[in-house]
Structure 1
Amino acid sequence: MKKILLLFSICLISMLGYAQTNEDGKESVYIDYFSRPGSINNILAEALRNKIIEGIQEMNRVVLIDVDSNEALKTEARRRQEASAMGDVVARSEAMTTLGAKYLIQGNITSMQGIKKTDSKGKPYYKGSVSYTLKIVDPSNGTLKGTQAFSHEGLTGSIGDTPEEAIIKTLDYAKISMDDFVNENFKIQGTIVQVESTKKDKAQTVYVDLGTKRGIQKGQKFTVYIEMDIAGELSLKEIGRLNVKEVLSGTRSLCSVSKGGEEIMRATKEERKLIIISRKDTFLSL
């Protein structure tokens, strides 16, 4: 026990200088092991976790670190499995903070099953159904930053000849779902630096100070705000919306104005700071 604790302490001390954000301004986020009922196959649970990791990494929004890749955290995880250390959440949070984690993603898998169906010819098949919840925790104080429940079934439940095959196929939707999860919980803030084109006193395209270094991709959507002083307190007022048309460099992107072109043009002429904040993509949004 003492040897394990000593090893863990040495590993922590060696990483005391690890920053919570890297040079590109991306936050360091650890993804923990997922909890699950004993009835759920461990291989399928790990397959879901891996799909979620893939989906978050493809967004290139945060520096995602798997706790399984860190020897100090693996040692600490084994320590927590001992009866005397079960439920030692404080130690876990302290470890994450020391290692430089801005946030910790925790997962709880509630259901993974292949539901038996029969086609019009009487042939049996299975439809996948997967449900889980992701939580984002600030390890420095244990506060919850956000939580989101996911359920992939029905139209998003893929079919297979076996329950396992149906579940595995359904996991691709977990990867896809991470786009909105990241946009909702790890927002990017920047500014409009220049209006590129106009039409009848309305901004049509603008340049923003965000690019590949912050994980910006074509199609990313932003809300545009101006600062308002209300009774001595600063607040943000929405005046428009943007869609990324082209990512030009690490710190520049060209965006089309989908809403509020006149207001954006007016604010530009008044030399007001135009703040942009990322938002999740929806079929109904501009």
Structure 2
Amino acid sequence: MALCLVFGLETWAQDERNARVVVGMNNLTYTVKKTKTLEKVLDVLLTGEVSKDQSKYQDAVRAAILKGISQSHRMSAIDGQLSAQEAALPGARYVDATVSTLSTTSKTETEYIDKEKKKTRTKTYYKALIGITMQFKSAKTDEILASPTFNVTETDLSWIETEDGAMLKALDRLSYYVNRYCNRWLPLRANVLEGARDKKDKQKEVYIDLGSAEGAYKGLHMGVYTVKTVAGKEAKKQIGKLKIEEVQGDDISLCKVQSGGRDIKSALDNGDTLVIETTD
């Protein structure tokens, strides 16, 4: 589960479309939660599960965050302070993270090896829990840009036979949540060039001006929007969805229309400008 609380998304002019943004990761802090012995005993009695602090994985959490940022469409992560030159780049920002939860939960189950002989064995299974809050700030102004919170909970993962295995699964899920957030915050943007294949009154395929040079790949999903200016502001309306079928060059891809074929064809026939944004 990922809960993303945004306190104000930054708007900034960019000279180059889909330019990558550099992010320096500064501090990661973790305060161990103190649980009273009686509370621990009650938890075991009620659930049969035992919780254990895993502060030794703090560096692994940091690496998972960096991985999630670096693998996003438009962000490049640096572990540590940005240089003066990096901080001066358009959109440069830094991020701090606070770890609120970093633990494993274990349960022991008894299972039959041989029911006829009533032979049994006990096995222990594990799940890992991670909770973090990140705070992105502008490298130029120190303004808070966003404060997303991510939680990997018991409902996100299945039980694993080893403690390390459970933590690795949770760290992978954390990277996924961070990556998805960054991609939605700074999506890839492009335009529909022209229609490719249509059938009756529905558009089936279109060409877009996004290719390998900007990170396009087969299977990438996008929303299609009409855009108009209202009181000097850009207003957009989603009319359909696309998926890249084939990347055909540095700046061109063929896309399959997944929904909104009728509206997309009508807009193209009318000569309307259609823009796209990635949704993955």
TM-score w.r.t. the length of structure 1 is 0.71
CA distance in 2, matches of 1:32, 1:47: 15
The equivalent of 2:63 in structure 1 is 50
Q: Where do 1:1-286 residues align within 5 Å? A: 25-37=19-31, 43-67=56-80, 97-98=87-88, 102-121=92-111, 122-157=122-157, 159=159, 163-230=163-230, 233-280=233-280
Q: Offset at 1:211?
A: 2.1
Structure number with the higher strand fraction is 2
CA contact (8 A) 2:129 2:152 kept: yes
Q: Offset at 1:164?
A: 4.9
CA distance in 2, matches of 1:120, 1:184: 45
1:134-178 CA-partner distances (Å, limit 9, x unpaired): 333222223333332222232434645664553234212122324
Q: Secondary structure at the match of 1:110?
A: strand
CA distance in 2, matches of 1:23, 1:235: 19
2:187 is aligned with what amino acid?
K
CA contact (8 A) 1:112 1:129 kept: yes
CA contact (8 A) 1:117 1:127 kept: no
1:88-119 CA-partner distances (Å, limit 9, x unpaired): xxxxxx89734666222332211111112122
1:42-63 CA-partner distances (Å, limit 9, x unpaired): 6511112212322333344323
Unaligned 5+ residue runs, structure 1?
1-19, 73-93, 281-286
Unaligned 5+ residue runs, structure 2?
1-13, 34-52, 112-121
Q: Offset at 1:253?
A: 1.8
CA distance in 1, matches of 2:16, 2:188: 14
CA contact (8 A) 2:30 2:98 kept: yes
Q: Secondary structure at the match of 1:192?
A: strand
CA distance in 2, matches of 1:181, 1:211: 22
Give the fraction of aligned pairs with identical amino acids, expressed as a percent.
24
Structure number with the higher helix fraction is 1
CA distance in 2, matches of 1:232, 1:99: 27
TM-score w.r.t. the length of structure 2 is 0.72
CA distance in 2, matches of 1:53, 1:256: 33
CA distance in 2, matches of 1:101, 1:260: 33
Tell me how large the CA RMSD over aligned residues is: 3.0
Structure of higher RCO (CA pairs closer than 8 Å, 6+ residues apart): 2
1:213-249 CA-partner distances (Å, limit 9, x unpaired): 3222322222211122446654212222212222223
Q: Secondary structure at the match of 1:183?
A: helix
CA distance in 2, matches of 1:111, 1:59: 24
CA contact (8 A) 1:158 1:167 kept: no
CA distance in 2, matches of 1:65, 1:53: 8
The range that moved more, 178-187 or 255-264, is 178-187
TM superposition outliers: structure 1 runs of 4+ over 6 Å: 20-24
| Number of residue-to-residue matches in the alignment | 238
